[in-house]
Amino acid sequence: MPELETLRQEFEPQGISFLALSMAHGGDLGYWAEKMGIRMRVGSYPGEVLTPLSITQVPATVFVDRNGVIVAAGSGPKSLGSLRRQARALLQ
């Protein structure tokens, strides 16, 4: 999550939005997000939502372009460099 928060700070002013999703239901997600230093929007979802994208583990990352089209999705941790390259591609 620290990588996504770094990206959010870097790319949100350029028009990229970020959303953190949790598979946990109930509880106060806002409280936990704040405790973890996450300043992006946070929501919860049922696990099967990501099944069509072949997401098999968390963390998962999904990139959606400005037209609402999913342009990349993947399971597992990603490096800051990899996430940054994908974010830059969205701006082009």
Residue 27 pLDDT exceeds 70: no
**What is the signed CA dihedral for 68, 85, 3, 74, rounded to 10 degrees?**
60
Q: Any idea which architecture 2-91 has in CATH?
A: 3-Layer(aba) Sandwich (3.40)
Banded model confidence at residue 46, pLDDT cuts 50, 70, 90: low
pLDDT at res. 63: 84
CA pair distance 36, 5, nearest whole angstrom = 10
Average pLDDT of the segment spanning 74-85:
87
Calculate mean pLDDT across residues 19-30: 70
Name the β-bridge partners of 74.
61
More confident residue, 87 or 26: 87
pLDDT of residue 25: 62
Region 69-79 average pLDDT: 83
pLDDT given at position 84: 94
pLDDT digits (tens, 9 = 90+) for 50-62: 677 777 777 778 8
Domain boundaries, the chain: 2-91
